[in-house]
Amino acid sequence: MSFDVEQLDSFLLVGSAVTLLAILAVRLSSRAGLPSLLVYLLMGVALGESGLGIGFDDAQLAHALGFAALALILAEGGLTTKWDEVRPSMRLGLSLATIGVTVSVLVVAVAAHYLLGLPWELAILLGAVTSPTDAAAVFSVLRVVPLPRRLVGSLEAESGLNDAPTVVLVTLVSTGAVADHGVPAIVAIVLGELALGLVVGLAVGFAGAWSLRRAALPSSGLYPLAVVTFTLLAYGAAAALHGSGFAAVYVAALVLGNAELPHRGTTRSFAEGVAWLAQIGLFVMLGLLLSPGRITASTVVMALVAGLVLTVVARPVSVLVSTVVQPMPWREVSFMSWAGLRGAVPIVLATIPLSEGVAGAEDLFDVVFVLVVAYTLLTGPTLPLVARWLGVTRPLEPRDLDVEAAPLERVAADLLQITISPLSRLHGVEVGELRLPREASISMVVRDGHTLVPDPRTVLRHGDDLLVVCPRRQREQTERRLRQVSQGGRLAQWLGEDERDRRP
Task: Tell me what the pLDDT averaged over the chain comes to.
Answer: 83
Percent of the chain past pLDDT 70, that is, above it, reads: 88
pLDDT score for 497 = 42
Q: Across residues 410-430, what is the average pLDDT?
A: 83
User: Residue 129 has what pLDDT?
Assistant: 92
Please, is 19 exposed, middle or buried when counting C-beta atoms within 10 Å of its C-beta (0-12, 13-18, 19+)? middle
> pLDDT-derived band of residue 397, with 50, 70 and 90 as boundaries?
low
pLDDT score, position 3: 65
Residues 6+ apart with CB under 8 A from 201: 234, 238, 247, 248, 249, 250, 251, 252, 254, 255
pLDDT above 80 for 388 = yes
**Strand-by-strand arrangement of the 413-419 sheet:** 399-400, 413-419, 465-471, 441-447, 450-452
**Per-residue model confidence (pLDDT) at position 113:** 93
pLDDT at 496: 43
Judge whether residue 235 has pLDDT over 80. yes
454 pLDDT more than 80: yes
Q: Which of 22-26, 170-174, 355-359, 379-383 has the lowest mean pLDDT?
A: 22-26
Q: Of 109 and 268, which is predicted with more confidence? A: 109
More confident residue, 372 or 3: 372
**Is the sign of the CA dihedral 19, 22, 24, 26 positive or negative?**
negative
pTM, rounded to two decimals: 0.75
Provide the CB-side half-sphere exposure for 210 (13 A, CA): 6
- Which residue in 171, 255, 246, 179 sits closest to 211, CA to CA? 255
> How many whole angstroms separate alpha carbon 13 and alpha carbon 293?
28
Residue 261's pLDDT is what? 82
